[in-house]
């Protein structure tokens, strides 16, 4: 007996005789075939979990525990929330405030040496804070005009004569006085502000290029400047 004959026998046994005509049998056969096909389609395809929006409370382990489910990784936002909760339960990571960089203050102090006036002016911004008389380079040894900066500072310097090589230690007879503020060098020769035991030369063109000052004035100037202070020499 084939499937069609079996179904016909089954139909004749469970339905009234008035419906067991050939036409009725054909309709019921179609109905049963459709039911069988639907049943086979459902049970022959493996279940695949639908991917849904994962909430922040979901975890990979929790999703994988569902029978026959395909794990779906949580979103980036969910991962961040989980990390925050695991590190600090009940605490959310605050946003960092904008931090403005702290810039160094601009150098406002500068020295302006006027060769014609034979005077040095101490500026802070546009304001003259102090000025002092000086001696500048004599003809043939002129103090060079230009823009420089303080490159060396010494208290009680010694001195070596560039002509004889004689060394003179610090003291009242030292040609550099008791303070030195250097602003130019070629690696062998040096030019700077310094004190002097020869007070009569101040206000004159009398030096070999350096800028002589009264000892009491060079001490004051020494306290006003720093390494890197601009020095402008002008005619």
Tell me the CATH number at 120.
2.40.440.10
Whether 103 is in a domain gets the answer no
Whether 202 is in a domain gets the answer yes
Whether 145 is in a domain gets the answer yes
Give yes or no for residue 63 having a pLDDT over 60. no
Q: Is 128 or 8 the better-scoring residue by pLDDT? A: 128
Q: Is 167 or 213 the better-scoring residue by pLDDT? A: 213
193 and 218 in contact (C-beta within 8 Å)? yes
Domains identified in the chain, total number: 3
Whether 69 is in a domain gets the answer yes
Q: In angstroms, rounded to a whole number, what is the distance separating the alpha carbons of residues 35 and 222?
A: 108
Whether 30 is in a domain gets the answer yes
Domain co-membership, 23 together with 66: no
Domain co-membership, 79 together with 191: no
Catalytic residue among 88, 194, 208, 217: 194
At 209 the three-state DSSP class reads coil
210 is catalytic: yes
Residue 41 phi, psi dihedral angles, 5° rounding: -65, -35
User: Quick one: tokens of 207?
Assistant: 């030096």
Catalytic residue among 43, 208, 210, 217: 210
8 is catalytic: no
Domain co-membership, 84 together with 21: no
Lowest mean pLDDT among 97-101, 105-109, 210-214, 226-230: 97-101
Q: What is the pLDDT of residue 160?
A: 84
Per the structure, the complete domain to which residue 78 belongs is given by 61-90
Q: In angstroms, rounded to a whole number, what is the distance separating the alpha carbons of residues 134 and 148?
A: 18
Q: In angstroms, rounded to a whole number, what is the distance separating the alpha carbons of residues 186 and 177?
A: 22
**What does pTM read for this prediction?**
0.55
181 and 204 in contact (C-beta within 8 Å)? no
Mean pLDDT rounded to a whole number for the chain: 74
Domain co-membership, 197 together with 145: yes
Q: In angstroms, rounded to a whole number, what is the distance separating the alpha carbons of residues 207 and 198?
A: 11
Domain co-membership, 119 together with 81: no
Q: In angstroms, rounded to a whole number, what is the distance separating the alpha carbons of residues 227 and 181?
A: 9
Residue 155 phi, psi dihedral angles, 5° rounding: -105, 140
Domain co-membership, 150 together with 69: no
């Amino acid at each position: 007996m084939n499937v069609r004959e079996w179904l016909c026998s089954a139909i004749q046994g469970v339905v009234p005789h008035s419906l067991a005509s050939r036409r009725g049998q054909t309709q019921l056969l179609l109905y049963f075939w459709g039911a069988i096909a639907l049943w086979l389609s459902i049970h022959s395809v493996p279940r695949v979990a639908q991917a849904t929006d994962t909430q922040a409370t979901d975890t990979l382990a929790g999703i994988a525990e569902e029978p026959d489910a395909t794990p779906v990784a949580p979103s980036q936002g969910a991962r961040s929330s989980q990390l925050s909760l695991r590190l600090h339960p009940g605490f959310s990571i605050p946003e960092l405030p904008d931090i403005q960089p702290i810039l160094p203050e601009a150098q406002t102090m500068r020295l302006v040496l006027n060769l014609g006036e034979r005077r040095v002016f101490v500026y802070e911004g546009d304001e003259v804070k102090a000025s002092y008389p000086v001696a500048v380079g004599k003809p043939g040894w002129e103090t060079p005009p230009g823009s420089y900066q303080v490159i060396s500072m010494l208290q009680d310097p010694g001195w070596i004569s560039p002509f004889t090589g004689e060394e003179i230690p610090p003291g009242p007879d030292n040609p550099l006085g008791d303070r030195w503020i250097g602003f130019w060098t070629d690696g062998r020769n040096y030019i700077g502000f310094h004190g002097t035991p020869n007070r009569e030369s101040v206000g004159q063109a009398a030096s070999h290029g350096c800028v002589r000052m009264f000892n009491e004035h060079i001490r004051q100037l020494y306290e006003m400047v720093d390494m890197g202070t601009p020095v402008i020499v002008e005619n």
